[in-house]
Structure 1
Amino acid sequence: MRARSTSPDQSWPPASSTPTPTCSTSRCPWPRSSTSARHARGRTSSTPSGSAHFYEKESWRDLPEGALPDAAALDAATTEHPVMIQAWAPHVPNHAAFNSAALGIDADLPDGEGGITVEKDAGGRPTGRVSGAVNDYYNHTHNDFRAEVWGRIPFIQPQLLPPALSGAMAEQNGLGVTTIYEGHAMDPEHIGVYEALYQAGALTLRVLAAPEVLGSALDIKVAAPDEDKLAEHLAKAEAIQGDRGEMFKVNGPGYNGHLAMREPYKGPYGETTEGHWFIPSDIIELALREAARRGLRVNLCGGGLKEHDVVLDLLGKLRTDGVIKGGEHWIFQHSIFLDARQAERYAGHGFDMTVSTAFTYGKGEMYRERMGEQVLADLNAFRRMLDSGIKVAAGTDWGPKNPWESMALAVTHTMGKGVRAPTTAGRSGSASGRPTPCGAGGRPRCSAGPASATSTRSVTRT
C-alpha cells in the first residue's frame, strides 16, 4: 500500500533550520492516533496482504493533527501492508513517513545520510519519519542510501495506468477540456500507454505528447548527460514521432533545467545557491541543433531568469547560423520567472509557453522568503507573455487540475496565505504594487481551500 502526501515543506523540521536527528517521543508534538492512519485502515481492510493500494490525500496541513504520523500511528492501521506517505513535490527539505512493515531500517542506521535525516526517539530507534532530500522526483542528491531504498518501491504499477487515465480524461471532459499536451517527464513507455488507448479507441481527449530527452525528473540516480546519451535519447524520440490522426500525435523532445537565477539565493538548508543545471549549456546547444536538423519540435522546461538568459543567447546563435527561423513554435514549459525583455525575445523566436499557476499559489511564499520580495514581480507573468505575443497555456503539472481554477489564479496571482503576489497584472513590465488580500478591493474571490496548492501531479495537462 502507498499513501501520497503533498509538498510538506514547512513541517518538521522548519525549512530554515538544520534538521534535528533525534527527538524524544515525550517532547515531540506528533500524535499517536492520526487521520492518515484511519484512512490507511479503511483501505487496507479491503486490500489483500502484500497488495498495493493507491490513494491520495491533501497536504498534511489539512489533517486535524497538522502533522505526519509516525510508524506507531500507521501500525495502528496495519502491520501487514507496507505504508509510505510520500513527499510528492519538488520541495527540499521534504518529509516522508513509513510504518514498520515498510521501514526496513533499524537503530544501526546513521542519524543522517547524504542529505537525509532519520528521526529517532530517545532510545535511538527510528520513528518512521524521515526528512531532507526525500522527495520522489527532481531529487538529485546522488544518494546511494536513498537510491537503494527507493529502488525497491513499486511507485508506478502499469496495470493502474489505463483506469487512472480513463478517469482523468473523464474528469477533464466534464470540465470542458478537449485537448491535452503531455510534454513533461514523458518517457516512451508513458507515451506508449496513450498509444494503446488510441489503438483501442479509448481516448476521449485529443493528445499531443512529447518524449523527454535527457530527462531527470523520475530517475533515482541521474547520470551526467553527454553527447552519446543525447544521441541515444534523440534516436528514441525520433522513432516514436508521428501523426496518428485527429486524436493522437507525438512531436518533439523535451529538455530541462532547475531554477537557475542571476543572483544567489538561500537554498533549502540555508546555504547559498544559484540553482541547478540538469544539462550543461554545450549539451543544450547540441540538443537544439540536432532537434532542428531532425525536424523535431523542441520542448524546454525551466523556470529561472538565468536559464532564460542562457537559452535565449543560444537561440540567438542558432538564428544567426540559420539553424532556426522563428516559425518552429518551440515550447518553453513552466517559465516560473520571466522578465519583460525575455518575454519579448521569446516572442521574437516564435515560442509558445505553458505555466502552472500553482507555482504562485503553492510556492510564492517560499520564493519570497528565499529569494526576496523583488522576484515576485517576475513570477508567473501571464500578462507579460500575452502582451509580448506569446501563446500561453495553463499547465496542471503542479496543479490545479481544474482549468477554471488555473484561469482564476492567472488573474489573481493568489498565494497560499491569501495574498496577491505583486506580479505583472498590468501591461508588460508593470507590477501590481503591494500584495492585496484575495477578494479585497473588488478582486476576484480566492480559489476555495488549499487544494490548488496541494493537488498531486495529474496525468493530464491543460
Structure 2
Amino acid sequence: MPSRSIRSTALLLIHNATIYPFDDADSTAGAILIEGRRVAAVGSEGDLRRRAGRTVESWDVHGATILPGLIDTHPHLLHFAAGRASLVDITAAASHADIVRRIADRARNTPAGEWIMTTPVGEPHYFIRRSYEDLAEGELPDRQVLDRASDAHPVVIAAWEPNIPNVMAFNSMALHRLGITREHPDRVEGVVIEKDAQGEPTGRLRGAVNAVYSGNEFAYRLWRKLPMDHSKWYLPATRHAIDHYHGLGVTGIYEHRHHIDVYRQLRQAGDLKMRVTVAQESESFGTAWSRPRDPEKFLQVLEEAASSINLDDDYLRFNGISIQWDGSFFPGHTMMREAYYGPDGEQTHGRHAMDPNKIEIAMRFCAERRIRLNTLCVGTQAHEENLQMLEHLTSTHDIRPLRWILVHTPFIEAEQVNRYCRLGFDVTTTMTYLFGMGDLFRGRFKPDRRERMLHDLLPLRRFFDAGMAVTGGTDWGPKSVFEHIQLALTHRMPSGYSNLGPAQQIDRVQAVSMWTRDAARLLQWKDIGRLMPGACADLVILDRDPIVCAVDEIADVKVLRTVFDGDVEATARKTL
C-alpha cells in the first residue's frame, strides 16, 4: 500500500485490479490514476504508467475489485448513531447475567436517580437473525432481575422501530417513575402490561411500544417521560458513524435537514469525510414527540429550505423538501387500495401521515420556486392520491425538469410507474421492505390478494425500464450494501420465499449502479458515483467481484479499504 497520505497533487497509480468505473459504456479497467483528490485517468496499467512518468507512486492491490465509493440514499446515519451513543449496548448480550453486568457497569458511573437506557438485544432493527429470544433465558429480564443491576437508577431496555408487536423492560424504579402499577388494566390502548400471578407488573410491556411509527398514544406518553435529548452526542457519534460507514464502503449519503448543523460543523472544521446531501422535512411526524406544524411554521420551514439550496460544495449540499403520504406497515399505516390486516387483526387501508392540504401546499411551493421535492409513498393508494395531485399540478407547472424523487415505494402498480415516468420522477427505494417486512406482508394480506401484492412489491425492473434513476438506501437494515445488492437480485425473504418475477428482475450492473452511478444521478452530483477523469477520488476496494461472483456470495463481499477524497491513510479499513 502507499506509504503516505496523498491530500496533495501527488500521483498514485492503483493497479492489478478489476475496476468498474460505471461509465456510460459499462467498461472495465485494470488501473486507475489518482491526482490529489481527483481521478486523473482510468485504463491499463501500461498506459497510465506512461502518462504518469517515473514520479508516480504505485499500489498493487493483488487482483482486488474496485468500485466507485458507494452512495446510500436513505441511511439514517446520524439518527441511528446519536440515538444509540448514550445507551448501554446489550445488542450482543447472551444472558440475563450479561445484561445485568453491563447495566451495573454503567450504574457505577451514573449519579443515583438518573435514567439508564439500553439498546434492545439482537441485530437492529428488525431483530430477525438475532433477538432477545436468543438469550439463554429466551426472554427479556423482568424488573426483579433488572433491580439487581441497579435499584438506585430507573432502568429501561428500549424497543426500537419498526417492529410491532415489540417489547420493553423496566426495573422497579422505572415503573414507579412512569406510574405503572397493579391498578393499571392488563391492556392499555394496545399495550399489554405483563403481570405476575399476584397481579404485580413484571416490568415487561408488549405490543405497540415503539417511540417511532407505533401510533400508540399510551406508549408515546411513556416515551415522553424518558430522557431522549441526544444533542450532545450528535457530533462525536456522527464522526464515529462516518468512519463505520467508510468501513462498509460508503462515501456518500442523503440525509434529513434536521441534522444539517452537525454536518455544517464538520464541514467548517474541514473534517467532513463524507459527501452529504440533505433535504428539509416539511412536517414533523412519526415519533412520540412529533406534532403537526402550524400553518405559519410550515410555510417558514419551506422558505428556509428554499433559501438554503446549495448544489456546488464538494462535501455538503442542500437540495429539496420532503413530504410523506403514509406510514409504516407494522402498525397498519400503509395506504393500500386493498384492505389488509393490522397488528391486532383488524382490517385497514392505512392512513395519511400528513395533511393532504399541506402536501399540496408543499408541492405547489416547490413547483413555483423550482425546487426538488421528495415524495414518500409506501402503498398503492398513497401513490394514487399523490399522482392525482401531481397531475393536477402539471396543468399549470412543468415539473419534469426538476427530477422530483419518489421515496421508498415498496408497493406500486405498473400503470403508476408509467405515470411517474411521464412526470420526470426518479426513485430511491430500499430492500429493507423485503428483508424486514416481506414475510409480514405475506401474512397480512388475504390469500386472494396476496399474489397481486407480491407482484407489485419492489418492482425494480419497472423503474429501470421507465428510464428512472433507481437508487438504494439501507434504511432500517441490513446495513451492508452488499446484502441489499444480493436482495435486489434474489428478492429472497428471511423465510426463503422469493417474489422474484418479471417486474422485479434486474442484472448485476443495475443492482450495483443503484449504489453508484444511479445514486449520483438522483442526487444530481456529477463528480461522484463514477470513476472518470475529474471525478472525486472516492473508491472502495473489495475482496471479490460482486458483478461476477456467485449470487449467494454477494452478501459476504468484504471491504478491504475505502479511499475517500484520494486519501488512503484516513479511511477506516486497512486490510490492504
- Partner Cα separation in structure 1 for residue 393 and residue 90 of structure 2: 43
1:47/1:53 contact within 8 Å kept = no
2:212 is aligned with 1:137 = yes
1:35/1:63 contact within 8 Å kept = no
Which residue number in structure 2 is paired with residue 123 of structure 1?
Answer: 198
**Deviation for aligned residue 1:54:** 5.8
2:418 is aligned with 1:344 = yes
Matches within 5 A, 1:421-440: 421-422=499-500, 424-426=503-505
CA RMSD of aligned residues (A): 2.8
2:440 is aligned with 1:366 = yes
2:319 alignment partner, one of 251, 255, 262: 251
1:140/1:221 contact within 8 Å kept = no
Per-residue CA deviations over 1:41-89 (Å, capped at 9, x if unaligned) read 4544555553757656423244343322222222222223332222211
**Deviation for aligned residue 1:405:** 1.6
Which residue number in structure 1 is paired with residue 477 of structure 2?
Answer: 399
Which residue number in structure 2 is paired with residue 78 of structure 1?
Answer: 150
**Deviation for aligned residue 1:111:** 2.7
Q: Would the alpha carbon gap of residues 221 and 248 (structure 1) be closer, same or farther in structure 2, given more than 3 Å must change?
A: closer
Structure 1: which amino acid aligns with 2:103?
Answer: A
The 3-state SS of whatever aligns with 1:252 is strand
Matches within 5 A, 1:59-458: 59-103=131-175, 104=177, 105-141=180-216, 143=217, 145-183=218-256, 186-187=257-258, 190-220=259-289, 222-223=291-292, 227-243=295-311, 245-256=313-324, 257-258=326-327, 259-321=334-396, 323-372=397-446, 373-374=450-451, 375-422=453-500, 424-426=503-505, 444=552, 447=555
**Deviation for aligned residue 1:5:** 8.4
Q: Would the alpha carbon gap of residues 409 and 279 (structure 1) be closer, same or farther in structure 2, given more than 3 Å must change?
A: same
The 3-state SS of whatever aligns with 1:417 is coil
Per-residue CA deviations over 1:400-436 (Å, capped at 9, x if unaligned) read 22211211111122212233234533379xxxxxxxx
Structure 1: which amino acid aligns with 2:100?
Answer: A
TM-score between the two structures when normalised by the length of structure 1: 0.79
**Unaligned residue ranges in structure 1 (runs of 5+):** 7-30, 429-441, 449-462
**Unaligned residue ranges in structure 2 (runs of 5+):** 1-85, 123-130, 328-333, 508-549, 557-576
Which stretches of structure 1, 4 residues or longer, exceed 6 Å deviation after superposition? none
Which residue number in structure 2 is paired with residue 433 of structure 1?
Answer: none
2:253/2:277 contact within 8 Å kept = yes
- Partner Cα separation in structure 2 for residue 200 and residue 39 of structure 1: 35
- Partner Cα separation in structure 2 for residue 80 and residue 382 of structure 1: 53
Q: Would the alpha carbon gap of residues 173 and 43 (structure 1) be closer, same or farther in structure 2, given more than 3 Å must change?
A: same
Which residue number in structure 2 is paired with residue 432 of structure 1?
Answer: none
- Partner Cα separation in structure 2 for residue 114 and residue 241 of structure 1: 43
- Partner Cα separation in structure 2 for residue 268 and residue 55 of structure 1: 23
1:412/1:444 contact within 8 Å kept = no
TM-score between the two structures when normalised by the length of structure 2: 0.64
Greater percentage in strand? 2
Per-residue CA deviations over 1:338-380 (Å, capped at 9, x if unaligned) read 2222222222222222222121111111111012432122222
Per-residue CA deviations over 1:258-284 (Å, capped at 9, x if unaligned) read 210001111111111101101233332
Per-residue CA deviations over 1:234-272 (Å, capped at 9, x if unaligned) read 234334433471110111111112210001111111111
The 3-state SS of whatever aligns with 2:400 is coil
Which residue number in structure 1 is paired with residue 100 of structure 2?
Answer: 37
